[in-house]
Every structure is written in structure tokens, then in C-alpha cells.
Amino acid sequence: MKLNSRAQSAQNPHNHSPIVLVHGLFGSLDNLGILAAT
């Protein structure tokens, strides 16, 4: 689901909605968490 949300935001670069921004922030946090866990 995370990849799908990123793909959608990439396909719609001009659609700067709060939901997309929130998804981007959570995606970054998830990546940092995964990197820290490894």
C-alpha cells in the first residue's frame, strides 16, 4: 500500500494535497524505521 501511495503521488506531482503530504511523511518515517531496525 505504501508503494501504491508513492506511485500515485509520483504520477500526480501537481496534486499537493495534505493527504499526499502526510503519506509522504509517514513513508519517510517508515523507511527510517526500517533502516534503523536493520
Give the burial class of 16: count Cβ atoms within 10 A of its Cβ; 0-12 exposed, 13-18 middle, 19 or more buried.
Answer: exposed
Q: Which pLDDT score is estimated for 2?
A: 54
The pLDDT of residue 10 is above 60: no
Residue pair 2/30 in contact (Cβ under 8 Å)? The answer is yes
Q: How far apart are CA 19 and CA 17, in angstroms?
A: 5
Considering the chain, what is the average pLDDT of its residues?
63
Half-sphere exposure of 4 (CA within 13 A, CB side): 1
Average pLDDT over residues 12-19: 57
Q: Which pLDDT score is estimated for 1?
A: 47
Is the pTM of the predicted complex or chain greater than 0.75?
A: no
Q: How far apart are CA 25 and CA 31, in angstroms?
A: 10
Q: Which pLDDT score is estimated for 6?
A: 53
